[in-house]
A and B are shown apart, each in its own frame.
Chain A
Amino acid sequence: MSIAIPSFKVETRSGTSSLAALAAFAGLALAIAAPLVVSRGVVQDLFFILTTLVLAQNWNLLAGYAGLISVGQQVFVGFGAYAMFGAVILAGLDPIAAILIAGALSALLAIPTAFFTFRLQGPYFAIGTWVVAEVVRLLLAQWKALGGGTGTSLPRDATRDMIGVDLIRDLFGMKAAAASDALTYWIALLLALATIGFIYRLLRSKQGLGLAAVRDNEQAARAVGVDARRMKALVYVATAFVTGVAGALIYVQKARISPDAAFSVTDWTAYVIFIVVIGGIGTIEGPIVGVVLFFLLQKLFADFGSWYLLVLGVIGILVMLFTPRGLWGLFSDRTGIQLFPVRRTLIGGPPAHTPKGGPNG
């Protein structure tokens, strides 16, 4: 059977119309200009949204693609934050430089952590990640130079004299506090864009295809030559780096740290899981939708105390029951719209068949 085969074409369909591209461009311009137009309170809200989005994208990559359901990602937020504090207070580094060091140290921490948790399967892996987070929290709470169990603050002038703050003050005539908020906001924006860009590139690459195979069926993936273990380990270390950077950045902005807050499983993992699940796990769009919804819910219900958590819980359960692929999944299934298409569609056909256009869905 030797049928002459015409050249096939493979497409990762990017159905983004020029209209959508224009909208994205306008959105980006607005996001960059935000600190110059909106109040400091709004800048801080946007900072929260962006950093939470980074955490959510990372958890989504970890759980939705590498199949690593971690409930201990707060370890990298807390460790990154403490590493930054250590670098600023003990080594006198600039907070911005300390953020990168914090990321590198978090990635380093991920190596021994993976060594322990990767021996555990399924739910035991999840429990293992949480145990690791608790152990690191307890250890850092012993660190007297950084305030022990009660925590400490960044020196006042450290955030004031950060690289770039002066420039922003001069350029836009802002007060020091506003300038430092603007700076952390822009870094958060850059981090969020870089994270999404990195994940999107990864998913469109050969490695991303292998990762999706591992997610679907690890045994089969190994049988066709995918190094599942290495792939998971790399994703784990990469997400530890980015999560550590995000943790450090969040705490540059907060300027005050304590072990309980920095290693909070609720703030840095439970909310993040909620965001990914309601938005849609296994898509890049899902966490974006999730984080916006989460922010709105928080604004609406935060005054109601424990009712707020109850509402979150009920919404989470309803979404899991009725649209397991999340709100974005529901929307995408109905409309066929994808902002970050990664599917490889084969178009063209052999002479025997009449070539028909791809199903486009």
Chain B
Amino acid sequence: MSLLELERISKRFGALTVADEISFSVGEGEALGIIGPNGAGKSTLFNLIAGNIAPDSGTVRFGGMDVTRTPPMGRCLSGMGRTFQIPQPFEKLTVFENLLVAGSFGARRREAEACDRCAEILVDTGLFDKANVLAGGLTLLQRKRLELARALATEPRLLLLDEIAGGLTEAECHQLVATISAIQQKGVAVIWIEHVLHALTSVVERLLVLNFGKVIGIGKPDELMASRAVQEIYLGIEL
């Protein structure tokens, strides 16, 4: 049985269709990449999965349960962890406290229990030096890293990552890929929206291409990138 299942999800903003009958599923521990031009509806798709936006029609199932009407909090508690493309830190809390909120509420633990795990995550994501710094004082790159760390602290079964590799140096990108692979190897399913293709393809088994809210293709990265429909979209953009 698959962990996440979307069935004919549609969403319009006025005249603009941002999700057009989207159906796909992600298995337990699987890693799926999502690519597509800017404005294709990738972040909106995350909002539909995480419950920030209600679809006009269609069904979202998570762990076999219909969660289409479940608010974001409930989806987090049932095991979805997400990052925001535009980071949303708790600015007047420290980096460590940011994780502690996620580790105690999202993972339903007592605060004292959550502490050790949060500290470990800070080490894994390279934020340990910043543990006691106010999140409001972080740079954009650090904020993105905090998004990842905080999502991890909720101890998710499914991790939704929205463009967290942009702006990294080659070495940092390498490090990030290693971190995400390690997370996936522990059995966490990952859906990763990313423009940095080589980083993405070194982690994910399948790729989904989105354009104007439509799924153009889904499958093995190399096969998909060779297909005409995808090349048309990416001609002049990448490849």
Contacts and interface: CB of A to CB of B under 8 A. Distances in A.
Interface of A: 1, 3, 5, 7-8, 10, 205-206, 209-210, 212-213, 215-217, 219-228, 282, 343-346, 349-350, 352-353, 358-359
B168 interface: no
Contact of A5 (B92, B93, B106, B119): B119
Interface of B: 50, 52, 71-73, 76-77, 81-82, 84, 88-94, 96-98, 100-102, 104-108, 110-112, 115-116, 119-120, 122-124, 128-129, 131-133, 150-151, 153-154, 178-179, 182
A293 B13 CA distance: 52
30 contacts: A1-B124, A1-B178, A1-B182, A5-B120, A209-B97, A209-B100, A209-B104, A209-B111, A212-B90, A212-B101, A213-B93, A213-B105, A219-B88, A220-B89, A223-B88, A224-B102, A224-B105, A224-B150, A224-B153, A224-B154, A225-B108, A225-B154, A226-B73, A226-B101, A226-B105, A344-B96, A346-B132, A350-B123, A353-B129, A358-B132
B102 A10 contact: no
A344 B134 CA distance: 11
Contacts of A358: 132
Given A222-B72, A346-B131, A212 B154 contact: no
Given A1-B182, A216-B91, A346-B119, A224 B101 contact: yes
Contacts of B104: 206, 209-210
Contacts of A221: 90, 101
Contacts of B115: 8, 10, 346
Given A221-B101, A353-B128, A5 B123 contact: yes
Nearest to A10: B115
Given A8-B115, A206-B104, A220 B92 contact: no
Q: Which of A7, A226, A228, A358 has the most CB of B within 10 A?
A: A226
Q: Which of B73, B102, B106, B153 has the most CB of A within 10 A?
A: B73
A223 B72 contact: yes
Contacts, number: 120
Q: From DSSP, what is the main secondary structure of chain B's interface residues?
A: helix
A201 to B, nearest CB: 13
A223 B132 CA distance: 22
A227 B178 CA distance: 33
A7 B92 CA distance: 26
Contacts of A8: 115-116, 119
Given A5-B123, A225-B106, A344-B100, A220 B88 contact: yes
A206 B110 contact: yes
B182 A217 contact: no
Contact of A210 (B105, B107, B110, B124): B105
A12 to B, nearest CB: 10
B178 A206 contact: no
